[in-house]
Amino acid sequence: MTNKETPPTTKIATRRRSSREILKNLYEQFTSKDQVLITIDPDPDSIGAALGLKRLLWHKVQSTTIGLIRPMKRLNNLTLIRLLRVPLVVLDDDNINEYKSDTTKYVIVDGQPNHNEAFSQFDYSVVIDHHPLTPSAADAPFVDIRPDYGATATMLTEYLKAAQIKPSQSLATALLYGIKTDTRNFERHTTARDIEAFRYLYSLANHNILIKVEISDLSLRDLKFFQKAIERKHVVKERIFAHIDEVPTADILVLIAEFFLKVHDISWSIISGIQDQNLVVIIRNDGYRKDAGKAIKKAFKNLDCSAGGHKAMARAEIPMEALSEVLPRCNSTAIERYIRKRLSPFS
């Protein structure tokens, strides 16, 4: 897919340009005839950032659609979009061709083209993200990557301020929640920019909705997975491990990992399960002189898988086919022992 009438390539040196200059370069990527598809791997930060960009493009392009590369299953996120009435489209084989045309421009926020295979089918005009720059992102005409920022929602808040657009209550709520979740309530990587954006959005947001969203973690059927994790837990020094077999969504592994990290004397929580023929390993730690992202990359570097993250949180997805090449018997006990063996030296 090639976008016609694409403006000349513009690489953004974010430290040397003002927010207004960056915004001007962003607008140069679009014309009034463009249909824009913003693709996201849905989480609160990407949802808030996508909504912020959609507001910026209002009256600048013909239409803007926010497309999810996978359905949302986490209850907090579902509650957020339900209460804020956020219009989102799940991209799949049945509808993807509807968003492919010569007048469509593709944008990715809170992610980069090689972060997920689903992104690879799009030729991006704009990449906006706060994760470290990857080579594939540099090919887009407009690239604004700020790995020192705690959230992409912070970046979009700065864009809106530069455009002199006051966010609506629903947009401010989404942006605020994105900043809160990606900085883990400012307990992990946070800059003064994130705090400034949070303070600006705080008086504009709907805090009753935020409270409801933040407490909507679990359904009754999720409790059985907590029970299994508690029954199967293994504690090795300050590390707690649990493998809970098949799970409907990896989000339940995240919730259990964060729950176990609350236990006194536990500084690493490593929870695993199998979803869609992938072994998913979730790591959470207290962030003190630790690096979960580096640990998980080293642990599984010899496997054909995706693995990485931040200092306090990381994730690996290992195809069961790849796991079977190094683990002849892929039963629960063998998988748990393998994870403990691989991660103990690095965590």
Q: Does residue 290 sit in the same domain as residue 141?
A: no
Same domain, 40 and 59: yes
Query: What is the per-residue pLDDT for 181?
Result: 92
Give the pLDDT of residue 16: 55
Token digits of residue 63: 């239409």
Residue whose tokens read 């079977």: 324
Domain identity same for 167 and 309: no
Q: Which residue has the tokens 């609506």?
A: 168
Residues 2 and 89: their CA atoms lie apart, in Å, by 22
Residue 128 CA to residue 137 CA, distance in Å, equals 9
Q: Are strands 234-236 and 313-319 parallel, antiparallel or unpaired?
A: unpaired
- Kindly report the number of other CB atoms within 10 A of residue 105's CB atom: 25
For residue 239, give every residue at least 6 positions away whose Cβ sits within 8 Å of its Cβ, in sequence order, or none.
Answer: 266, 267, 268, 269, 270, 343, 344, 347
pLDDT on residue 243: 96
Task: Based on the fold, state whether residues 137 and 154 are members of the same structural domain.
Answer: yes
Per DSSP, the three-state class of 78 is helix
The CA R_g of the chain, rounded to the nearest whole Å, is: 21
> Hey, which residues does 106 pair with through a beta bridge?
37, 124
- Establish if 30 belongs to a structural domain: yes
Strand intervals (E) in the chain: 10-11, 35-40, 63-68, 89-90, 104-109, 124-129, 142-145, 234-236, 239-246, 268-275, 278-285, 306-309, 313-319
Give me the pLDDT at residue 97, please.
Answer: 87
Asked if residue 72 is part of any domain, the answer here is yes
Tokens linked to 15: 């430290």
Same-domain pairing of 30 and 148: yes
Pair (176, 292) in one structural domain:
no
Is 99 within 8 Å of 65 (Cβ atoms)?
yes
Residues 315, 272 contacting (CB under 8 angstroms): no
Whole-angstrom Cα distance, residue 22 to residue 66? 22
The domain that holds 211 is classified in CATH as: 3.90.1640.10
2 falls within a domain: no
For residues 198 and 50, state if they share a domain. Answer: yes
**Statement to judge: residues 22 and 94 lie in one domain:** yes
Residues sharing a CB contact under 8 Å with residue 63, sequence separation 6 or more, in sequence order: 35, 36
DSSP 235-277: EETTEEEEEEEE-S-THHHHHHHHHHTTSTT--EEEEEEEETT
3-state DSSP helix/strand/coil % of the chain, to nearest 5: 40, 20, 40
Q: Give the pair of three-digit tokens for residue 303.
A: 């496997």
330 in a structural domain: yes
**Residue 183 domain-assigned (yes or no):** yes
pLDDT tens profile 33-62: 999 999 999 999 999 999 999 999 999 999
**Which of these three, 215, 231, 257, is where a domain ends?**
215
**Tens digits of residue pLDDT in 205-236:** 999 999 999 888 788 889 999 999 999 999 99
* 211 and 227 within one domain: no
Report the domain count for the chain. Answer: 2
- 94 inside domain: yes
Provide the residue type at 103 as one letter.
Answer: T
Range of the domain at 117: 10-215
How far is the C-alpha of 77 from the C-alpha of 281, rounded, in Å?
21
The domain boundary residue, chosen from 184, 215, 246: 215
Residue at a domain's end among 215, 250, 278: 215
Is residue 5 a part of any domain in this protein? no
User: Are residues 195 and 229 located together in one domain of the fold?
Assistant: no
CATH code (residue 255)? 3.10.310.40
One digit per residue, pLDDT tens: the chain, 347 residues?
444 343 434 454 444 578 899 999 999 999 999 999 999 999 999 999 999 999 999 999 999 999 999 999 888 999 999 999 999 999 998 888 888 888 899 999 999 998 888 898 899 999 999 988 888 777 899 999 999 999 999 999 999 999 999 999 999 999 999 999 999 888 777 899 999 999 999 999 999 999 999 888 788 889 999 999 999 999 998 999 999 999 998 889 999 999 999 999 999 999 999 998 999 999 999 877 788 989 999 999 888 888 888 888 899 999 998 898 888 888 999 999 999 999 987 66
Return d(Cα 19, Cα 206) in angstroms, integer. Answer: 27
Q: Dig out the tokens for 97 from the structure.
A: 């061709």
pLDDT at position 5 = 41
- What's the pTM value of the predicted model, to 2 decimals? 0.70
Q: Which two tokens stand for residue 61?
A: 């392009």
**Residue 3 within any structural domain of the chain:** no
Based on the fold, state whether residues 15 and 118 are members of the same structural domain. yes
Domain co-membership, 194 together with 240: no
